[in-house]
Chain A
C-alpha cells in the first residue's frame, strides 16, 4: 500500500519563475493538504483540497494556488517565485470526511524547492 508520494524530490528555480509540485495521496484517502516548511521551523498550512475544491486556506498569498483531480491527486502551483519561497513543501492526505473524523494526516517526504 503506497503512502503519500510527491514529485519531484528536489527542484531549483530562479526568481520570478513558476513551479508546479505534484502529490498522490495514500490509497483510500480523498482529502489533500499542502504545507510549507522553512528551514528550522514547523510546517505551515497552505491549503486543503476536498472534492476538487479548495476548502481551507492558510495565510499565503494568491501566488500559491492548487488543484485536485478526480483521482484525488493534487498539484501546488507557485507563481512569481521569491527567494523566500525556498522551503520543503509537504503534501498530506487523510481519510474521507465523515468516516473517521479524528483521522490523522499522513505526510509525504516533500519536495525541496530552492529559489535562486
Chain B
C-alpha cells in the first residue's frame, strides 16, 4: 500500500473551507485514495474515495492531482462538528486499510 504523509495538525475557522492535504508520491495506478475521519471516542467514519477523477459527495470533495502524487480533501463549510482526526489512505483492492497518524483538524469558532 502507498505510504501517505499528512500534516499533524491544522486549524480552520468555522464557516470557511477546510483543505486537508495528503502526499502519496509512491501510489501506483491501481491504488485508490480513501479519506476517513475519527471524532473523539468514536470509530473512523468513511468520507470519500477516488482513483483518478475528482469526487464529491454530501460530506466533502476530493481533488486528486493529475500525476496522482497528492490529493486534497475539502470540507466546503467547516463546522465545529468537523473537528476530528482525518486519515488519508492509499489501498489496493483486497488489501487491508493502513492508517497513519492522520491530521488533527481543529475548527475554531
| A interface residues with partner B (beta carbon < 8 Å) | 4, 33, 35, 41-45, 48, 56, 58, 90, 92, 97, 101-102, 104-110
Which residue among B43, B87, B99, B101 has the maximum number of chain A CB atoms within 10 Å of its CB? B43
Report B-chain residues with C-beta under 8 Å of the C-beta of A43.
44, 99
Number of interface residues of B (CB under 8 A): 23
In the complex, the answer to whether A45 meets B101 with C-beta atoms within 8 Å is: no
In the complex, the answer to whether A102 meets B87 with C-beta atoms within 8 Å is: no
| B interface residues with partner A (beta carbon < 8 Å) | 32, 34, 36, 41-46, 49, 51, 85, 87, 93-102
Q: A42-B87, A102-B32 are in contact. Are A107 and B45 (CB under 8 A)?
A: yes
The dominant DSSP class at the A interface is loop
Q: A90-B43, A104-B46 are in contact. Are A42 and B100 (CB under 8 A)?
A: yes
